[in-house]
């Protein structure tokens, strides 16, 4: 049986001052809007047992025998519609958010704090970023998955990646993980202010729809708290905006396959609203920290076409919080609370 190999820091000076690290983790993105890049990305993403809970042998046959032969080209076309000169919107937006958080924490935290960004699928990987932060002297690590609502398919998978990395480190740093912030008062207020500012600039539509990413219903039946947390976010945001149930609705997008996912489905909902006489429909996506394929292409393009095709006048997408001052301030406060007691975040604390 082969010996375990543990990654160490040979030659490290132990006189090097320790610092805290904050690792933001987002879903990930292909390297380019091309079929080969999508094939590699989708193989990693859809090969994660947290994402697809099927018997491994069966899913391997479906994934490699069917999905990866056809879906990469379709997905590449979708990515090409939103790709920017700087690259993937998710990667660019996440990098801007990480840079803004680094600047804010550098000003406000009593000690040295290093902010890193990893992608659960694609590059830079969780493993690469944790090892890089460790080499830079990070001895206390706070992981913040950029998913406000917890699901095993998203935050749970990030925890798996962190655990897999720690299992191979000879001297892992102290670790804390933020499991979610779906009901955080500052986050709800940031979402509400963003919607109110958008309405002040563009006028208010006939109805507001909150579209969350879907997951299979059987995951919720097995104990995943995602649906409850989405419902709580929706209720808190509706109360903060002063709306009633006739003015704000919830739906779930991005389903794949034939099994039932969380309902109502976003594409069916926007068509129904148009048929019921809604002329202008506003959509926000409170489950996405930064804009990405699912918001910019699926909602702002695809579902806008579904809505107008069914008789609606205009579907208006309200952007994600991205690197806005409100999001940066709230995430910085969230990090400060979860890192309380660490000397880098707490004045007067002993190292």
> In what order do the strands lie in the sheet containing 314-317?
248-253, 207-213, 280-284, 314-317
Helix (H, G, I), strand (E, B) or coil at 134: helix
CA distances from 35 to 38, 74, 84, 89 (A): 5, 8, 17, 18
| Nearest residue to 299 (alpha-carbon basis) of 191, 199, 206, 209 | 209
CATH number for the domain spanning 207: value is 3.40.50.1400
Residue 92 lies in a domain: yes
Burial 334-347 (b: 16+ CB within 10 A, else e): bbbebbeebbbbee
CA-CA-CA-CA torsion sign (42, 44, 48, 51): negative
Residue 9 lies in a domain: no
In terms of residue numbers, what domain contains 156?
19-33+83-180+326-338
- Do residues 269 and 282 share a domain? yes
Structure tokens, 30? 């292909």
64 appears as a binding residue in the annotation: no
Note the pTM of the prediction, 2 decimals: 0.95
pLDDT in tens, the chain (351 residues): 456 778 876 556 566 788 999 999 999 999 999 999 999 999 999 999 999 999 999 999 999 999 999 999 999 999 999 999 999 999 999 999 999 999 999 999 998 999 999 999 999 999 999 999 998 999 999 999 999 999 999 999 999 999 999 999 999 999 999 999 999 999 999 999 999 999 999 999 999 999 999 999 999 999 999 999 999 999 999 999 999 999 999 999 999 888 999 999 999 999 999 999 999 999 999 999 999 999 999 999 999 999 999 999 999 999 999 999 999 999 999 999 999 999 999 875 544
Cα R_g (the chain), whole angstroms: 21
How many independent structural domains does the chain possess? 2
174 appears as a binding residue in the annotation: no
- Quick one: CA torsion of 325, 98, 321, 28, rounded to 10 degrees? 180
Give yes or no for a contact between 194 and 149, defined as CB atoms under 8 angstroms apart: no
Residue 123 lies in a domain: yes
Residue 6 lies in a domain: no
Residue 150 lies in a domain: yes
Task: Let me know how many helices (H) and strands (E) the chain has, helices first.
Answer: 13, 8
């Amino acid at each position: 049986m082969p010996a375990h190999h543990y990654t160490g820091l040979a030659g490290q000076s132990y006189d090097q001052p320790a610092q805290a690290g904050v690792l933001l983790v987002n879903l990930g993105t292909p390297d380019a809007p091309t079929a080969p890049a999508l094939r590699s990305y989708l193989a990693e993403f859809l090969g994660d047992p947290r994402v697809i809970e099927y018997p491994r042998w069966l899913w391997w046959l479906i994934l490699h025998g069917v999905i990866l032969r056809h879906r990469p080209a379709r997905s590449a076309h979708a990515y090409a519609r939103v790709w920017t000169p700087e690259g993937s919107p998710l990667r660019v937006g996440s990098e801007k958010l990480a840079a803004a958080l680094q600047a804010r924490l550098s000003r406000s935290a009593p000690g040295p704090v290093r902010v890193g960004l990893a992608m659960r699928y694609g590059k830079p990987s969780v493993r690469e970023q944790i090892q890089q932060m460790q080499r830079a002297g990070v001895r206390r690590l706070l992981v913040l998955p950029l998913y406000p609502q917890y699901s095993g398919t998203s935050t749970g998978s990030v925890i798996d990646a962190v655990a897999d990395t720690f299992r191979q480190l000879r001297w892992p740093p102290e670790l804390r993980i933020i499991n979610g912030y779906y009901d955080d008062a500052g986050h709800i207020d940031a979402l509400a202010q963003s919607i109110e500012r958008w309405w002040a600039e563009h006028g208010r539509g006939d109805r507001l729809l909150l579209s969350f990413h879907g997951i299979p219903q059987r995951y919720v039946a097995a104990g995943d708290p995602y649906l409850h947390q989405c419902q709580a976010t929706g209720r808190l945001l509706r109360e903060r905006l002063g709306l009633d149930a006739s003015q704000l609705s919830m739906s779930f997008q991005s389903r794949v396959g034939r099994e039932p996912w969380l309902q109502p489905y976003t594409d069916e909902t926007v068509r129904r609203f148009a048929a019921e006489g809604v002329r202008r429909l506003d959509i926000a996506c409170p489950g996405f920290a930064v804009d990405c394929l699912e918001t910019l292409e699926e909602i702002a393009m695809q579902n806008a076409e579904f809505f107008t095709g069914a008789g609606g006048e205009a579907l208006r997408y309200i952007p994600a919080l991205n690197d806005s001052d409100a999001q940066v301030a709230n995430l910085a406060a969230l990090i400060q609370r979860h890192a309380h007691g660490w000397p880098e975040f707490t004045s007067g604390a002993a190292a």
